[in-house]
Structure 1
Amino acid sequence: MALSEQERKLLEQLEASLMAEDPKLADTLSGSAATRVHRRKAALAGLGFMVGVVTLLIGVQIHPAVSIVGFLVMLGAALLGISSWARADGSPQPSKPAGPKPTPSSGSGSDFMSRLDERWRREHGDK
């Protein structure tokens, strides 16, 4: 179903306002080229893992060296898949904070909420 001219303009305005308000979310929803590449690598790593499993099982019947190769293929595919999947999420890599880390107290619920509030303010700024 085609959109009318008015609906198309409204959609463009919504997209522009989303980009202005939260560019990180808009980029995540649009799925940048880098994200697609990392997701494709993760999918291929999954297939490589399955090939490694089959090679491992066949190697049990044929020769132990084939099983070792299958295991190494599985291991390499798993490492590649995990790293690609983490990059495809778009989540920033954790970095160490500059200041000293506060120590958690003995399980109070209000402390938990205050830490969440502090983290929110630190990441999103106090607006």
Structure 2
Amino acid sequence: MPLSEHEQRMLEQMERALYAEDPKFATALEGSELRTYTRKRVYQAAVGFLVGIALLMGGMVAQQVWLSVVGFLIMLGCAVLAVTGWKKPVVAPAPRQGVDGPQPAAGQGGAAKRTMMNRIEDRWQRRRDERER
């Protein structure tokens, strides 16, 4: 279902706000580097999963329980790797001076998120108020 014109404008405004707030993070999200990283990690996990299946079956045929257990553990690890491979760890940006003053220290990351959410909520409320006029 396509987005309405209003939803598209809201999305564009959110994207601009993200670029203004943290351009390094925004470019990391849009770039093909993330897709390449994800694709590579999932392919590696799939190959590892197949190796795990081969070890599991080989252990069953050779009647070596330990080999089957190792194969199962490899399969399990690769499945977890594939599922968690969808998210690339993001490097925290260097602290900078912004419109709201200095960024909080490392132990105060939750406060930064709350202030960003407060700003988003305030903007949302202002837009809603402007529409009602």
What TM-score, normalized by structure 2, do the two folds share? 0.44
What TM-score, normalized by structure 1, do the two folds share? 0.46
